[in-house]
Amino acid sequence: MDFDIILAGGGLANGLIALRLAQVRPDVRVAIVETGDVLGGNHTWSSFTGDLSPEQQRWTAPLFEHRWEHYEVRFPRLQRRLESGYGSATSERLAAAVTEALPPAAIFTSMPVVALTPTSVTLADQRVLTAGAVIDGRGQGPTKALDLRWQKFLGIEVELAAPHGLTGPIIMDATVPQRDGYRFIYTLPFGPTRLLIEDTYFSDGADLSLDLLRQHLADYAEAQGWTIVATHREEHGILPLGIGGDIEAFWDEGDEGVPRVGLRSGMFHPVTGYSFPDAVQIADLVAALPVLDAATIYAAVRRHSVDAWRARGMYRLLNRMLFLAALPDERYRVLERFYEHDEALVGRFYAAQPKLRDWTTILSGKPPLPVLRAMSTLIKYELGML
């Protein structure tokens, strides 16, 4: 064998696996193959402090470029500051960490994968690499088994003419005009005059007009009184949000016996689309396996994915209310109502570790949507009428 493990795709999930194996099992020979010019792509991955265990916070710490002690949300009838930690990891830091952890001969960039099996990868130049296991982490692929909607965004990192005055992120500003579903602006303060501003949509379709979103961000900056003097970079994405589907059938759609991780394994927060915490859990899971052959890894990551999907059924119910029961211009009300709840509940919700009473609390009180419409929609969906 050329390697013990070959990681197909050099994004977040596989990058974390490579890093964790280098930390706790340096004897394992790992290779990583990425289509793009660099590992990690061009991304910012954020998470709440409570999403990770103390040990996970420790070993991922070098990946975080920025941390804050609080964040804000803004809605038409609610503005709130939450005293919860929040941090952002960057693709540049992930790439640097993986590059340092692996030997140069084990890193393949600008190299598409044209075929793979549980134990081999065929590269675009027709070389065939072999390993005890191949792990496929090449991002979201097509599926007929999952019922998905989309979070799509364009972010620009900018320099302002004067300080913006923010002391923490604004993770949802839904006071903007509602277009194409639920729309909000996401803002991360990277320095006194430096910001990442993202125009984000929870939409039915996956189309994305970058020029239009650039104009929306320019309009938002002007409305905030910010004068942009330089744009340092852009990032954009179209991420899945789940409303239903058959997770076992989803796994059966893939290459037989090939372990899958990241978005390719259905591992993302159903409501927010965040993927960093799930990717950290998978990296820990793989690194702790007693045997690192394809069959063992496949069984472990598939079981983890299926268990997580089933445990998060209530999240997908909320998404059905958001995407199917709410009219496009009233979707923000579902999130606005959610943020009225206790801060500890909000934290557990984001960490995908809710208590049973949390769901009772979330679904009680004044509903954000007409009750009959919501109930009718949910029933029709279960009966296959939507």
- Whichever domain contains 200, its CATH number is 3.30.70.1990
Residues near 228 by Cβ (< 8 Å), separated by ≥ 6?
Answer: 158, 159, 160, 161, 218, 221
CB 63 within 8 A of CB 42: no
**What pLDDT was estimated at residue 1?**
84
Helix (H, G, I), strand (E, B) or coil at 88: strand
Q: Please give the tally of structural domains in the chain.
A: 3
Same domain as 228, residue 251: no
Same domain as 106, residue 251: yes
**What is the pLDDT confidence band of residue 367, given thresholds at 50, 70 and 90?**
confident
Same domain as 376, residue 292: no
Q: Which residue has the higher pLDDT, 154 or 330?
A: 154
Residue 83 placed within a domain: no
Instruction: For residue 71, list its beta bridge partners.
Output: 82
Same domain as 58, residue 23: yes
The residue-averaged pLDDT of 129-147 equals 96
Same domain as 227, residue 198: yes
The residue-averaged pLDDT of 294-302 equals 98
**Which tens digits make up the pLDDT trace of 158-183?**
999 999 999 999 999 999 999 999 99
**What pLDDT was estimated at residue 194?**
98
**Cβ atoms < 10 Å from Cβ of 373:** 15
- Mean pLDDT estimate for the chain: 96
For the cut 80, the answer to whether the pLDDT of residue 132 exceeds it is yes
**What is the pLDDT confidence band of residue 372, given thresholds at 50, 70 and 90?**
confident
29: left (phi over 0), alpha (psi -120 to 50) or beta: beta
State percent of the chain over pLDDT 90.
92
For the cut 80, the answer to whether the pLDDT of residue 366 exceeds it is no
The residue-averaged pLDDT of 15-19 equals 98
**What pLDDT was estimated at residue 25?**
98
Same domain as 213, residue 265: no
Same domain as 223, residue 168: yes
Inter-CA distances, 34 with 89, 231, 246, Å: 19, 27, 29
Q: Strands, DSSP E only, in the chain?
A: 3-8, 30-33, 44-48, 64-68, 71-75, 78-82, 86-90, 107-108, 113-117, 120-123, 128-136, 146-160, 170-173, 182-191, 194-203, 228-245
Strands 3-8 and 146-160: unpaired
SS3 content of the chain, % helix, strand, coil (to 5): 40, 30, 35
The residue-averaged pLDDT of 142-164 equals 97
Domain boundary among 263, 293, 311: 311
Supply the range of the domain harboring residue 217: 146-242
For the cut 80, the answer to whether the pLDDT of residue 365 exceeds it is no
Residue 50 placed within a domain: yes
For the cut 90, the answer to whether the pLDDT of residue 191 exceeds it is yes
**What is the pLDDT confidence band of residue 368, given thresholds at 50, 70 and 90?**
confident
State percent of the chain over pLDDT 70.
100
Residue 261 placed within a domain: yes
Residue 157 placed within a domain: yes
For the cut 90, the answer to whether the pLDDT of residue 328 exceeds it is no
The residue-averaged pLDDT of 12-27 equals 98
For the cut 90, the answer to whether the pLDDT of residue 128 exceeds it is yes
When mean pLDDT is compared across 92-96, 260-264, 341-345, 382-386, the lowest value belongs to 382-386
Number of helices (H), then strands (E), in the chain? 12, 16
**What pLDDT was estimated at residue 309?**
97
Residue 180 placed within a domain: yes
**What pLDDT was estimated at residue 264?**
96
Q: Write the burial class of residue 236 (CB in 10 Å: 0-12 exposed, 13-18 middle, 19+ buried).
A: middle
**Distance, C-alpha 316 to centroid of its chain:** 16
> For residues 206 and 229, what is the distance between their CA atoms, to the nearest angstrom?
31
In 3D space, the residue among 70, 41, 69, 47 whose CA is nearest the CA of residue 60 turns out to be 47
**What pLDDT was estimated at residue 364?**
81
**What pLDDT was estimated at residue 317?**
93
The residue-averaged pLDDT of 239-247 equals 96
**What is the pLDDT confidence band of residue 370, given thresholds at 50, 70 and 90?**
confident
Domain boundary among 209, 226, 242: 242
CB 233 within 8 A of CB 156: yes
Residue with tokens 């039915």: 204
pTM of the model: 0.96
Same domain as 343, residue 201: no
**What pLDDT was estimated at residue 146?**
97
Same domain as 123, residue 112: yes
**Cβ atoms < 10 Å from Cβ of 300:** 17
**What pLDDT was estimated at residue 20?**
98
**Which tens digits make up the pLDDT trace of 274-288?**
999 999 999 999 999
**Cβ atoms < 10 Å from Cβ of 377:** 19
Q: Strands, DSSP E only, in 224-297?
A: 228-245
